[in-house]
A and B are shown apart, each in its own frame.
Chain A
Amino acid sequence: SQTIHQWPATLVQPVGSPLSLECTVEGTSNPNLYWYRQAAGRGLQLLFYSVGIGQISSEVPQNLSASRPQDRQFILSSKKLLLSDSGFYLCAWSRTGEASPLHFGNGTRLTVT
């Protein structure tokens, strides 16, 4: 069976500090990978998605970036965090194909102080 791991679970970072969140998927090959953000009481905002190694599509211009150095690894980064970057960050995977649902990791709750 497939599993998705996301860490850390919680993170408190000062404004201006860097960020690195990591996500790995097990039990499948060539998954589509996604980063979403959910602000408190709000819906899911798609940040980045990837259909293969080194292929990253950005949905929202911001100070975040994503990378996919390996088939089942997806990393979300920032060089300098802003207060507005606080939120619940969710990594997800899906099988290749337009009709495939997403499966989410447990999420990282980021607080920028």
Chain B
Amino acid sequence: QKEVEQNSGPLSVPEGAIASLNCTYSDRGSQSFFWYRQYSGKSPELIMFIYSNGDKEDGRFTAQLNKASQYVSLLIRDSQPSDSATYLCAFPGGYQKVTFGTGTKLQVIP
């Protein structure tokens, strides 16, 4: 079983809509989660991190964590074409390592 599962997409949403990106994980001991955005040909950029159950909001982004269901999601409100990228979820995997999902490609259609 993969440690982190993400739907590879592409996920297509119209401009102005809410994009919902999801990630499931297998390690019940995971305490924190990160969301990265990676534009084509560029390096990943940290956009959100969440350490506790519930929601965390930052501008148009909301991260949601449900530890009981081993599920973390990222909502992007008022999606813009500039949000088109691959979104990676990640979590510390022990021994100072971070495990990444393979990412979901988001396409925001103008």
Contact = CB atoms under 8 A, between A and B. Distances in A.
- Chain A bound to chain B: yes
Contact of B97 (A43, A46, A107): A46
Range for the number of chain B residues in contact with chain A: 20 to 34
Interface string B42-85: 11111001010000000000000000000000000000000000
A49 interface: yes
B96 A49 contact: yes
Interface string A78-103: 00000000000010001010111111
Interface residues of A, number: 24
Contact of B96 (A98, A103, A105): A98
B7 interface: no
B63 to A, nearest CB: 12
Contacts of B100: 43-44
Interface string A99-113: 111111111010000
A104 B96 contact: no
B34 interface: yes
A24 interface: no
Interface of B: 31-32, 34, 41-46, 49, 51, 88, 90, 92, 94-98, 100-103
Interface of A: 32, 34, 42-44, 46, 49, 51, 57, 59, 90, 94, 96, 98-107, 109
